[in-house]
Structure formats: structure tokens, C-alpha cells
Amino acid sequence: MYLLFTEVEPWEQKILEHAFRDHQLLFTSKSVNDCNLIFYRQIDILSIFVHSSIDKTILQSLPNLKLIVTRSTGTDHIDVITAKAINVTVYNMPTYASQAVAEYTFGLLLSLARKIHLAYCRIQTEHTFSHEGLEGFELQGKTIGIIGLGNIGKIVARIATGFDMHILACDQKEDTAYAQSVGCSFTTFQDILTRSDILTLHLPLTPQTRHLICQASIKTMKKGIYIINTARGAIIETSALLEALSDGHIAGAALDVLEHEKEMTPENKALIEHPKVIVSPHNAFNTKEARKGLIKKTIDTIKKWIQSQVEL
């Protein structure tokens, strides 16, 4: 079989070459969208990362394609409806970086709460040890609202117990046993908005969750709330967030994902330059442990699928 792996680093390529030495392999550090697909029309299996957008046009340009494995939690960058219609199987990796993303969420939260990023930049740029304007707040006793108590949200809740926080959550599937074990209370989305000091998002991007955080929902939030987003950028309506930051309704935001990722749009530039905002480059997944685990899961998934075809 012909396999194409996109957005691959050299160390990953070495592992994949060894794992699939009996197959025809193609590698590129680019995304699918930056490749000339005429050179890859023969591929049977495509493994991508989050920066490749697989739409109908791309699917139709790969006539032999049978399997897409995205090395990411979400599948919002893939036209799964068209893929299913033309019998292309799609697999994702829903649990590979849960610990990494949850820990990063608290890294962002602590930076917001204690202005660590501002303190660091001041030392670097001004060479001054003044702490004027760097007063922060403690997490103990604050209410954290977790939107999406799945694999990542559960770990966030567990970490929050170590800070002695009050924990609220909402999810389509309520794991009451886990919630009770960490002292988390399930409630409604609206109740979380009105009661939380900190809001953190851990849910996939779907038509239902796109712009879940919008002008209308922000108006119902507790004034002075802080928002953390390590999920998908388009869950937040950027223009509404900027407006709420400007009028003080939202006290601060830490965003590892943006609505128009990798584009320097005027709104993204405004977020990046905003004094109440921390922006990082979709980096929450990026630990040695998570990335090694991801490659192993990718290999196992593809090998299992190939074996299933052999057994047919």
C-alpha cells in the first residue's frame, strides 16, 4: 500500500519508516494544502495533522484513498460527510494528549492569574525588578467552570482540586461517579456562565459549538471572568471576545487556538497585541510524552486497519 504522512518531523519519519518498511511510503513536512497532490494520487492511506484541511476537492483528487488518520483529537478539519459517502474511513486520536493539554490549561491560567508572562517580559525588555502593575489573584476559592468534562476536562477538574477551587462542569454525558470523586458539580451551561470566575473550554468544534461563546452568551457571564481556550478557536466568536475585553466584562483570556489559525487577520493581530490576552501557537499538545504516544497510536491504528483489509 501507498502511505502519505504530512507535517512530519525527521524523528517521526524514522519511526514510521521502520514500522511500515513493507509498504510504499511518502513523507512531507508540509500540510496537504501546500502539496501538489498530483504527485500523490496513488496513495491508499493518508495521515495528517491539524494544519491540513481535507475538503471535498482534495478527497476527489485522491481516487485510491481508503483511510485518513488524523494525528489530532478533533476532526473538524476533515469533510467527514464526503469521506463517508465515498467510503473513506476516518480515524482520529481522541486521548493522546489529554494530560498535556490539561496541564497547559493550568499553565495559561496561572500566567493570567499571576501575570507571569508580563513579569518575564518586563525583566527581559526593561531589565527592571519592579513589580508595579503585576498584582495577581489566587486560585484558591475561585469557581472554575469546565465546558466539556471529557478526557481533558476530567484532568482539568482533578488539577483544580489541588488548588482548592470550586468546580462546575457541563457535558452531554455526565460521568457523575468521576465528578463526585473530584468534588465537581454538574450544572447547566448558563449556570456556569453566571457563576464562574474562570471559564475553560474542552469540547470539539461542531456546528453546535461554533461561536458557543458569543456576544449573547458573554452578556450572561459574571463580570470580570477569565477565559481559557485550548480546544478549538472557532468555539469563541473573536469579535465578541474583543468587545468584551475592551469594555471590561471579560478580565482576560488565554488562547492556545484562534478562530482563523495561522492567519494574521486584523482580529488575530488585535488579540495578540491586547494587554489582557495571552496567545500561544496551538502548543498545548506538544510534550515528548504526548508526541511519542501519538506516533505509536498512529502506527497501531494504521496497522490494525491494514490487517482488517487483509482479513476481508
pLDDT, tens digit, for every residue of 241-273? Answer: 999 999 999 999 999 999 998 889 999 999 999
DSSP state, residue 66: -
Domain borders along the chain are 2-96+288-311, 98-279
For residues 113 and 271, what is the distance between their CA atoms, to the nearest angstrom?
18
Q: Is 141 exposed, middle or buried (0-12, 13-18, 19+ CB in 10 A)?
A: exposed
Span 192-196, mean pLDDT? 98
Looking at the annotation, which residues are catalytic? 232, 261, 282
Count of Cβ atoms closer than 10 Å to residue 18 Cβ: 9
For residues 36 and 28, what is the distance between their CA atoms, to the nearest angstrom?
11
Q: Do domains 2-96+288-311 and 98-279 have the same CATH topology?
A: yes
Residue with cell 453566571: 194
Architecture of the domain defined by 2-96+288-311: 3-Layer(aba) Sandwich (3.40)
Q: DSSP of 244-292, one letter per residue?
A: HHHTTSEEEEEESS-TTTT---HHHHHHHH-TTEEE--S-TT--HHHHH
For residues 212 and 172, what is the distance between their CA atoms, to the nearest angstrom?
14
CA neighbor of 195 nearest in space, from 224, 236, 157: 224
Q: How confident is the model at residue 48 (pLDDT cuts 50, 70, 90)?
A: very high
**198 sits in which H/E element:** strand 198-201
What pLDDT, on the 0 to 100 scale, is given for residue 312? Answer: 63
What pLDDT, on the 0 to 100 scale, is given for residue 243? Answer: 98
First to last CA, the chain: 16
pLDDT, tens digit, for every residue of 109-163? Answer: 999 999 999 999 999 999 999 999 999 999 999 999 999 999 999 999 999 999 9
Span 78-99, mean pLDDT? 95
Architecture of the domain defined by 98-279: 3-Layer(aba) Sandwich (3.40)
The CA-based dihedral angle spanning residues 140, 141, 145, 146, taken in that order and rounded to the nearest 10 degrees: 40
- What percentage of the chain has pLDDT greater than the value 70? 100
